[in-house]
Amino acid sequence: MSLPIFPRSGDKNTCHLREAVTKPNIEVGEYTYYHDFEDPLRFQERNVLYHYPVNNDKLVIGKFCSIAHGAKFLFNGGNHRQASCVNYPFAIFGELWEHELHIADSWDNKGDIVIGNDVWIGFEALIMAGVTIGDGARIGSRSIVTRDVPAYAVVAGAPAKQVKRRFPDEDVALLEKLRWWDWPEERIKRDLHLLMGDVAALRQALGE
């Protein structure tokens, strides 16, 4: 389904991110938006960094995510090899050093960045290569996320650490079971008052 690139009339700072992304190694779910005080349409150039095709790594972002200004995703091309005796990436400069090393030998490949559904990523947060963030998580402003974040966790700091879980285990289990982000648009509209309320009211309305 194609959505309007700008979801709010007169607001050119907030865009539906899937409609603004063209690179094949970036996948974004429906209704996920990015807000930028300058130009949100330049997200894939300015916010997805060191993302070189030679690595075949992906940025995967789920549905209904909220991404604040300046949030960045730092990929494997920025990770110089830890096992090498030197930090200097000689493999990048093959012509200068007259070698035939593969350019990707300059860095460690930690894999994709995978963001779940309904994730909130705060102002200028930094997500590192290889990280998976679970559904419903919240990433604090200017956090540096170096390891996986569980579903419905709140993390903050540099490096980011879990501050709390948003809900008790039984409520998280209910939300993961419902997967409301996969509901048809008509049902979301009908039950929006429940989704915007607390889990107890949602549980009661659904008879869970």
Catalytic residue numbers read 80
SS3 state of residue 196: coil
Alpha helices in the chain, H assignment, sequence order: 17-20, 43-46, 94-97, 169-178, 185-190, 192-195, 199-206
SS3 state of residue 116: coil
Of residues 159, 155, 135, 133, the one with CA closest to residue 146: 159
Of residues 167, 185, 184, the one with CA closest to residue 175: 167
Q: Which residues contact 132 (CB under 8 A, 6 or more apart)?
A: 113, 114, 115, 116, 148, 149
